[in-house]
Amino acid sequence: MARAATHSLAHSLAIVTGASTGIGLELAKECARNGFDLLIAADDPAIEEAAKELRALGVTVETVQADLATLDGVDKLCAAVKGRPVDALLANAGHGLGHGFLDQDFQEARHVIDTNITGTLYLIQTIGRGMRDRKQGRILITGSIAGFMPGTYQAVYNGTKAFIDSFSFALRHEIQDSGVTVTCLMPGATDTEFFERAGMEDTQIGQGKKDDPAMVAKVGFDAMMRGDGDVVAGWKNKLQTAMAAVTPSGILAEQHRKQAEPGSGHH
């Protein structure tokens, strides 16, 4: 069974967003190792370096540099599909923003919402309709265990991930008889450029031990291939989500403050 499944992946097309570094790059590597040709996207020029690394794995790799927070950016990515059937969509683009909400630049906060939610949903709807028409496809959405807890000093980011975690389950059940699967990957703190970009290097969570993005990506990719509904990467994160489910929101918010408050890494 496994051999047949692998064989059928030859020249299948996978789209991976946020693929220039971190979990996205590792997800793209998993796709390449399993025979998927790739269309990868990110908003920075490092996507070209990522493509070189991925081509070394023996698959065709096309790149799109676009801001996936915008509908135009998503349209640019979808245009690059050129009408081909997409077998897997790995909607991984996303970023965070540290510090208190009232101290944030609103355009930066909005960019988090537009990247993590608006652009992600527009991409999923556009590609997902084609999958539903063909009655086959796999969608992997990178959510986060952050969606289980109020994100004090990371309020907008955690809010977007609560939305995405919820949305992915709803979509999965809306299309459960369509031949298209929806899987939500929920990592915890992972060793990527996330904390640096979010301005959170001086926080306890920013300085703490993190998960290996290659491990997170493998867990997510395998769950997508099985068609699982959701997967939490790492046993500590599984424990954290189980605790979050039975802990009052006020206590979770205070716990998060201790982890994400600016300067908390120096305490």
Mean pLDDT over each residue of the chain, to the nearest integer: 87
The answer on pLDDT for 133 being more than 80 is yes
> By percentage, how much of the chain surpasses pLDDT 90?
65
Q: Where are the beta strands (DSSP E) in 131-189?
A: 137-142, 180-186
**How many of the other CB atoms lie within 10 Å of CB of 236?**
14
Of residues 48, 60, 49, the one with CA closest to residue 14? 60
Q: What is the per-residue pLDDT for 193? A: 72
Q: What is the per-residue pLDDT for 6? A: 41
pLDDT tens, residue by residue, 51-81:
999 999 999 999 999 999 999 999 999 999 9
The one catalytic residue in 157, 218, 238, 258 is: 157
pLDDT tens, residue by residue, 192-224:
676 677 677 777 766 777 678 899 999 999 999
Tokens representing residue 10 in the block: 């030859």
Measured distance CA(208)–CA(53) in Å, rounded: 29
157 in active site = yes
Measured distance CA(108)–CA(154) in Å, rounded: 13
pLDDT tens, residue by residue, 27-51:
999 999 999 999 999 999 999 999 9
pLDDT tens, residue by residue, 142-188:
998 888 888 889 999 999 999 999 999 999 999 999 999 999 998 87
Phi-psi region at 91: left, alpha or beta (left = phi > 0; alpha = psi -120 to 50)? beta
Strand-pair partners of 181: 138
The one catalytic residue in 122, 153, 161, 210 is: 161
pLDDT tens, residue by residue, 226-245:
999 888 876 666 666 666 56
Tokens representing residue 177 in the block: 């008889």
The answer on pLDDT for 18 being more than 90 is yes
pLDDT band at 4 (very low <50, low <70, confident <90, very high): very low
Which amino acid makes up residue 208?
G
